[in-house]
Chains A and B, each alone.
Chain A
Amino acid sequence: MTALMSTRRLTKTFGDVTALAEVDLDIHAGECVGLLGPNGAGKTTLLTMAQGLRRPTSGHVRLFGGDPLDAASRTALGSTPQATALPEALRVGEVLDFIAAHYPTPAPRDSIVEEFDLGPLVSKQCGSLSGGQQRRVAVALAFVGNPDLVLLDEPTTGLDVNARRTLWDAVRARHAAGCAVVVTSHHLEEIEQLARRVVVIDHGRVRADDTLATIVSSVARRRVTLTGVAPGQVRSLAPDAAVTSDDGVVEAVVEDADSLVRSLVAANLPFSNLEVRGATLEEAFLTLTTEAA
């Protein structure tokens, strides 16, 4: 099976900053892949090279077997503009038609309008839409050309819960109809809703590439904070924990918080102010990154 999009040793540097380092990645037909990583990890840089917006510094990226810089390679690709970028003076229906004119077999306008619930917006000028409405139009534009592969960069950033669900449903329906989807996010929830396969990117490198379940369990960490004990004592009880201490407060990011607490009690350590909470994705990445180093 040939990949819709593939990169080999793909590297991009801006001056002395390496945004992406030797990334190998294949996206196949019908897949739904989440690109997960903290801000500045290189997710967007990867997508802009796949879209033909930037040239790789070294390595290469192929889109439908061709060079993404070549317009013909982008015939079956769908992307979203930033929501605030829609041409203010044009009506939503006009923007849909304008974009559709670029594709050989665009999706019928009515089906796009219905799936993304754009009916009440079609005759409005883009400048008059709310932020959430603009985002819905922006995501819908990715599907106007009836693409085989869609790249969604942070599709629901800044939306409320209802608006997110509507948009996720629409994207899932399109995926079920056979369109491969790559979605970037730094929200685990968004990735969980849309992706089956997850690629974790950090500092420009692929840290993990696995099924959603495996990735979620590997980044699902708990953060335990307590006082009255030395960092070394915690480290000896939980050797896989990332332990830091600040002003007497010891903080441990661990996979199994329950077992750490049990061993603290069993060791009869004089701890106090014990707190356990879910680690944020950023904190989980920190531990993944320290383990990799």
Chain B
Amino acid sequence: MMSTAQLALVHTRYNLLETARVPIAVIGSLVFPTLAFCLFVLPQGVVTQDPEAATAAVASMTVFAFMSAGLFAIGIDLAEQRAKPWVPYMRTLPGKPSVRIGGLILATLVIACLAMVPLLVVGALFTSADPAFSDLLAAVGLVVVTSVPPMLIGVIIGTASGPKAAIAITQVAMFLLAFGGGLFLPPPLFAPWLDAASSVLPIRQAREIVVGAANGQGVPLWAVLGIVAWTAALGALAVWLHRRDEGRRYR
């Protein structure tokens, strides 16, 4: 009998296999962050010619790539899966529910990591971003770790809503989190009240951690505490929702 972790890896493999058979779905998630970077960041010389600002811009966009992967791939996929009769069948197998969700999260992380590659290449070639190699490695590791809250938000949306509602909720959540988290507009341009509100969001905290690491300025403690608290709270909510979920209900 496989352990829960091994079984989660099996789920990851078949998840990626299914995704690879419908490659158009992957191409969207692979290309979108790089495309957004090329269209919105590259034309701004002020940003691309300043090493620190350019590094921050690339770092913000990787945070965005992982966040949108978490929200879209997990939230919408999970809601769609729950509406189909395959998931109730999977739940009758002798595997914990965490195995299926874990497999989905890992597969999503793999796709998000792949999406990060062209973004880093474009950042290295066309901007003056030039982080120390150790800072780059730390930032890449931290972007994966800090993507847990948006993944959990995806799990929560996917477990609590049907497929159509999930699309609407995800789009609103993504816009609010990306803008509020300082991924579209750098936080130094925020009004003080917006900056204060933004600091409470897990995406802003993820951004500060990743940007701080990439620029070699260290990781702000408030952001670490905030994101740990978010992870615990969202994790508890996701588990609770999952326990009371009995599949889709009709009235």
Interface residues of A (CB under 8 A from B): 15, 48, 51-55, 71-75, 77, 79-82, 84-87, 89-90, 94, 98-99, 101-104, 125, 141, 145
Taking a contact as CB atoms under 8 Å apart, the answer to whether B7 and A101 are in contact is: yes
Specify which of A54, A102, A103, A125 lies most central, judged by the most chain B CB atoms within 10 Å of its CB: A102
Taking a contact as CB atoms under 8 Å apart, the answer to whether B85 and A102 are in contact is: no
Docked CA distance A218–B7 (Å): 49
Across the interface, B14 reaches (CB within 8 A) one of A75, A98, A103, namely: A98
Taking a contact as CB atoms under 8 Å apart, the answer to whether A80 and B94 are in contact is: no
Q: Is B125 an interface residue (CB 8 A)?
A: no
Taking a contact as CB atoms under 8 Å apart, the answer to whether A103 and B94 are in contact is: yes
CB-CB under 8 A for A51 and B92, given A101-B7, A104-B1 = yes
Q: How far is the CB of B164 from chain A (nearest CB, A)?
A: 19
Q: Is B133 an interface residue (CB 8 A)?
A: no
Docked CA distance A87–B91 (Å): 15
Q: What are 16 A-B contacts with C-beta separation under 8 Å?
A: A51-B91, A53-B92, A71-B93, A71-B94, A74-B93, A81-B85, A81-B86, A81-B89, A89-B17, A89-B21, A98-B10, A99-B93, A102-B94, A102-B95, A103-B94, A145-B94
Mostly, the B contact residues are loop
Taking a contact as CB atoms under 8 Å apart, the answer to whether A85 and B85 are in contact is: yes
Which residues between 14 and 69 of chain B lie within 8 Å of chain A, taking CB atoms? Answer: 14, 17-18, 21-22
Mostly, the A contact residues are loop
Taking a contact as CB atoms under 8 Å apart, the answer to whether B1 and A90 are in contact is: no
Number of interface residues of B (CB under 8 A): 23
Chain A, Cβ-Cβ closest to B243 = A69
Q: How far is the CB of A140 from chain B (nearest CB, A)?
A: 13
Q: How far is the CB of A84 from chain B (nearest CB, A)?
A: 7
Docked CA distance A94–B14 (Å): 8
CB-CB under 8 A for A90 and B86, given A51-B92, A103-B1 = no
Q: How far is the CB of B102 from chain A (nearest CB, A)?
A: 13
Which residues between 196 and 221 of chain B lie within 8 Å of chain A, taking CB atoms? Answer: none
Residues of A with C-beta under 8 A to B84: 85
Across the interface, A53 reaches (CB within 8 A) one of B10, B94, B96, B247, namely: B247
Q: How far is the CB of A61 from chain B (nearest CB, A)?
A: 13
Docked CA distance A158–B249 (Å): 25
Residues of A with C-beta under 8 A to B89: 79-82, 85, 141
CB-CB under 8 A for A90 and B18, given A53-B88, A102-B93 = yes
